[in-house]
Amino acid sequence: MAVHIQTKDFDAGAEIAALRRGNPKIGAVASFIGVCRDANDGTAVTKMTLEHYPGMTEKALEKIVAEAKARWDVMEVLVVHRVGELKPTDQIVLVVVTGAHRGEAFAACEFIMDYLKTRAPFWKKEETPQGARWVEARGSDDEAAERWNSSKADVA
Amino acid sequence: MKVKILYLASLREQLGKAGEDLEISPATSTVAGLRALLMARGGPWQTALAQGRALRVAVNQEMAQPATAVKPGDEIAFFPPVTGG
């Protein structure tokens, strides 16, 4: 399990290659990349600044990854989250999950993202033509995280 | 007792402060009690920490509830709902 908080960009291909190198038991690699968009809620976004709570961020992410590993039969998990200034088209977050089969890897990857969105202490501040604004949390993110409580994902 | 308090993201801007070391009475033994103590400062404190405002609190870097205990030396962070990813 690895969690990295960093300002620098990441190379998903290189990260995936490193994660599964030399492991012939892996049959599936699921990944997610979150990217900075040029608009939010109908307003242009020229750049954003990502702030976090050093110390708690790593603990929160490690806890989320541990929970995913307890729920699903997966092998390696990598989470890379950038902080600092980002521009539209920049990569923000990478989650990679390896496992024997795709169902468990897909589910664990989505679970980690849903929990990260609601439990990991990151905050986005956007620059718009009307000035800077803090991004408001979305109810839909809470709902996405909440559904994992009602049932384990639909994988056997 | 002495505690360390952090204010993060939009809350830091509203309060004009990133954090402080505070000497509080042992009677202020919970997160809710500490929040009430800070709100009593009035002005932006009362507004930003008001009940009904979406606010999260962590004690020693773990998510906390209003009833979570506050002990000497604890690090208590106040912040808005998270928006990463």
Give, in order, the Cα–Cα distances in Å from A115 to each of A17, A89, A108. 25, 23, 10
pLDDT band at A152 (very low <50, low <70, confident <90, very high): low
A30-77 confidence digits (pLDDT tens): 999 999 999 999 999 999 999 999 999 999 999 999 999 999 999 999
pLDDT of residue A156: 39
Whole-angstrom Cα distance, residue A8 to residue B24?
Answer: 40
pLDDT of residue A155: 45
- Which of chain A's residues have a Cβ under 8 Å away from the Cβ of B8? 51, 53, 121, 123
Task: Please report the ipTM that was assigned to this predicted complex.
Answer: 0.94
**Torsion sign across C-alpha atoms A61, A67, A71, A74:** positive
Q: In this complex, do A59 and B58 lie within 8 Å of one another by their Cβ atoms? A: no
SS3 content of chain B, % helix, strand, coil (to 5): 25, 30, 45
Residue A82 burial by Cβ neighbours in a 10 Å radius (0-12, 13-18, 19+): buried
pLDDT along chain B (85 residues), means of 10: 98 98 95 97 96 93 96 98 96
Whole-angstrom Cα distance, residue A89 to residue B78?
Answer: 31
Detail the DSSP E strand segments found in B1-85. Answer: 2-7, 19-23, 56-59, 62-63, 75-79
User: A88 — contact with chain B (CB < 8 Å)?
Assistant: no
Across the interface, which of B6, B61, B80 has its CB nearest the CB of A59?
A: B61
How far does the CA of residue A108 sit from the closest CA of chain B (Å)? 16
SS3 content of chain A, % helix, strand, coil (to 5): 35, 35, 30
Taking Cα atoms as reference points, which of A32, A13, A35 lies closest to residue A109? Answer: A32
